[in-house]
A and B are shown apart, each in its own frame.
Chain A
Amino acid sequence: AQRVTQPEKLLSVFKGAPVELKCNYSYSGSPELFWYVQYSRQRLQLLLRHISRESIKGFTADLNKGETSFHLKKPFAQEEDSAMYYCALRGSSGSARQLTFGSGTQLTVLP
C-alpha cells in the first residue's frame, strides 16, 4: 500500500527566511509526487509536480528516490505563502493510480 507522511502539522517561519516542508513516501514502484496548496478560504489546488521540474511561486521540490522524500523548499518565504500544504503520491498501476494525500502541514509566515 502507498503512504505519504508529512511529519510537521504546523510550521512557522519569519518572512525572508528559508522554508522546507517535509514529505516522505512509501511505494514499491515508480511514483508521481505532487504538492497541493490550500490558501485560506480557497480551494485545494495543484502547486507543482515532480515530473515538471519547475519552480512555482519560488517553490521547488526534488524527488529523492533513495530517501523516498519529496520535500518542498523556498529560499525566502513571503507572508502570502501562509497556507495548508499537502504532499500527494500517485502510483503506477491499478488502484495505486489514485492520489494518496499526506495529512498536511500548516505553514505560517510571520512578518
Chain B
Amino acid sequence: EAGVAQSPRYKIIEKRQSVAFWCNPISGHATLYWYQQILGQGPKLLIQFQNNGVVDDSQLPKDRFSAERLKGVDSTLKIQPAKLEDSAVYLCASSLGLLARNEQFFGPGTRLTVL
C-alpha cells in the first residue's frame, strides 16, 4: 500500500513569511498527526486529528500555527508568520484509529529552513 505522502520535501523561506505543508495519509486511516522535529531532538506532537476533528492541539503554537483536515483525509499545516526557531522537519503520520494498538506510519517529512 502507498505510504503517507508529504509535500513539499524542502522549503526555504525568510522570517515573517508564510508557509504551508500538505499531508495525504494512508487510505482508510482516520487519525492524522503533525510532528515538529528540531535538529538533535525527537519528534514533538503538534496536533492530532480524528477524521476532521481535533483530538489534541495542546502543543501547537496557535498564535502562528494552524492546521486543518476539512474532509477528514488530507491535511495542511500552516505557519504565519515564520520565525527562525521554526526551522525543523515537519512530520506527518497516520494510523487506523485512536486505539493504542494502532501503529503510526510516518511520512518522509518536510524540511523547513527559515532564514
Residues of A within 8 A of B (CB): 4, 9, 32, 43-46, 86, 88, 90, 95, 97-104
Picked from B43, B48, B58, B100, the residue with its CB within 8 Å of the CB of A101 is B43
Secondary structure dominating the interface of B: loop
Cβ < 8 Å to A, chain B residues 73-115: 91, 98, 100, 103-109
Given A90-B100, A103-B40, do A43 and B3 touch, yes or no (CB 8 Å)? Answer: yes
- Given A43-B107, A98-B56, A103-B41, 9 further pairs, Cβ under 8 A: A9-B40, A43-B3, A44-B91, A86-B42, A97-B98, A97-B100, A98-B45, A100-B45, A101-B42
Name the interface size band of chain B: 20 to 34
| Chain B contacts to A: CB under 8 angstroms | 3-4, 40-45, 48, 56, 58, 91, 98, 100, 103-109
- Closest CB of chain B to A102's CB: distance in Å? 5
- What residues of A have a CB within 8 angstroms of the CB of B3 in the complex? 43
**Chain B residue with minimal CB distance to A43?**
B106
